[in-house]
Structure 1
Amino acid sequence: MGTITFLLVLSFLVFFHELGHFLAARYFGVKVYVFSIGFGKQLYAKEWMGTTWQFALVPLGGYVKMKGQDDSKPSLVENGNDSYNTKKPWQRIIILFAGPFANFILAAILYFSIAMMGATTWAAQVGQVQKNSPAFQAGILPNDEIIKINDTEIKSWDEIGKTIVNSDGALKFFIKRDGVIIAKTINPYISDSENMFKEKIKKRMIGISPSGKIIKLDLSFSESVVYAYEKTLLSSSMIFQGVQKLIQGAIPSSEVGGVISIGKVISDASESSIIALFAITALISVNLGVLNLLPIPALDGGHIMFNLYEMITRRKPSDRVFMFLTIFGWVILGSLMLLGIYNDINRIFLNN
């Protein structure tokens, strides 16, 4: 069942990505020959609106084959008003960007659905209080519920950390204890901590940890829109930073995951709940959008780079350079895929 869910989720993500390209291409009058979910041998196909819509044998991706644009033939030229070749560079950039943008839109839709169904988070309830910390000295106790910091209403644990980090000086905490509201003034201290990439950082803290109590967020329609926007933005930022840290060497290459890891994560999420499945699908969708925008030839970001070059210099890269860089891009992508699969297999053997 997990494998079926994985293939369905992956096909859905690929469909949405390619639909972005397809709609933008058709908007600018570019003919689309093929809209494919999967690569390789054709399993099923139907002709509709001048396009062949198909499922192919290897369901690990997809593509739209436009007139005048074919990744397998980088130097392909086809003339006519309905050719990708004849469109202005800015129009081609929009067609290319539309795929990743569709992934961001899909992620936002999924996060919005999660918010409407009942997103959950840690309650703003204190679990442990570190000895001799500012919170300890102010008299904060386990099970205290933090309801307000200065003039900021607090609904979840995340908001506590966000408010502390984004403020200066002493803070006035309003605590609910045994049904009574108590005010406490706490002066955060700068302490050593770690970010999500396990890098050493300095951070304003008061010395408390969450109780682990889970609450359901009661969000209105407009609050759900804001929640979806913020979660999509946060996920995108996190993945961009992750790629940057990987390039810098802050994250070891052994952390790169492949299709096996993705499949396991989706399978586990599907067995947990529909909300968990939506959340991991949204995260993978953002991941797909971000990675496709990297300036690697053969990816959307690489093609965007070529078109930006044409806009600036008023000339296209030579066919030889274009072909070389595209093949180089495929080598990079192939190497990353093999690295991910190698790491996945390694983890399987280490866990057994």
Structure 2
Amino acid sequence: MTITPEHLERHGYLFGHPIAHSMSPLLHQTVYDDLGLKWSQVPLDSTDMADFLERIKDPKFYGASVTMPHKVAILKHLDAVTPEGKDVGACNTLFIRTDPETGRRIYTGTNTDVIGIRDAFIQNVSSPSTVYYGRPGLVVGGGGAARSAVYALRKFMQATQIYLVNRDASEVAAVINECQERGFGEGLMHVESVEQAEALEAPGAIVACVPNFPPITVTERQARAVLETFLQKQQKGAILEMCYHPSPWTEIANIAQREGWQIILGTEAMIYQGLEQDKYWTGKALEELPVEKVKAVIAAKLAEQSKPAVNGSNGVKTNGVSGANGVNGSNGVNGTNGH
């Protein structure tokens, strides 16, 4: 039977386009089933904002994951936005607060992407104070995920300064300008050359926010060379590879592992941002949510999608790799730091 809101005690939406490959409904269904809730997140593959705004008036509606192309457009339709949503300038989560005096629903937006990045490091790095606190951070890329990464490094991870590495200088300039305008752009530096990278202190936390493809153009090869220069420095740290589709094991992950870095797979950020959403929607603390069960389900789904397996289950060395499963197997990577 197709799940529709009529069959549920409460329902939410995954609102965006395209969303066919999203694992968000699976993640949240795993949580609701474990908690014994007759809830579901219903995929709404749509660009019709007016239709969505009508749907969320349903008394059974509990909240929504908001993805592209609506993360910015949704803001003007909300009653309130949390500091994270305001600062990043994008909303990926809609939840409901209730006015205690009038009982009126207050449609509220937040950004859990930044929490996903933060918690991917917190949950996988056993000693933040020696690995990345008080050291520079590095962000590879120039899109929305890069902005969230800058915010997480600046607000939560005690980065002293943040290096930006990207093939497109204009994208980096836009990131720097926006972050400065929103109050968290201090100490951002575009690192454009190997010579510049060689003269800088090694970063402790790296967030890679680019698709998994071999560098082809001159600017792509230059950006990769700059990243490799940082990875080759004597002092190592942890790198979060945000790309996880179709496989969470990427060229950058291979290079970083070879150079002795701890690898955190992008599924970790995806999972922890989703669990943060469920904290808003269910009122539960992270400790009350089925974290390990969610990791196992997502790892199994990725293994299913990425057959035949690339890298992972072919015996790739997995020392220091933090995965989404807690066991060896689905992608040939180890679990979350012994959890």
TM-score grouping bracket, smaller chain normalisation: under 0.3
TM-score with structure 1 setting the length: 0.23
Work out which structure has the larger RCO, using CA pairs closer than 8 Å and 6 or more positions apart in sequence.
1
Larger Rg: 1
The normalised TM-score by structure 2 is 0.23
The structure richer in strand per residue is: 1
Bigger share in helix: 1
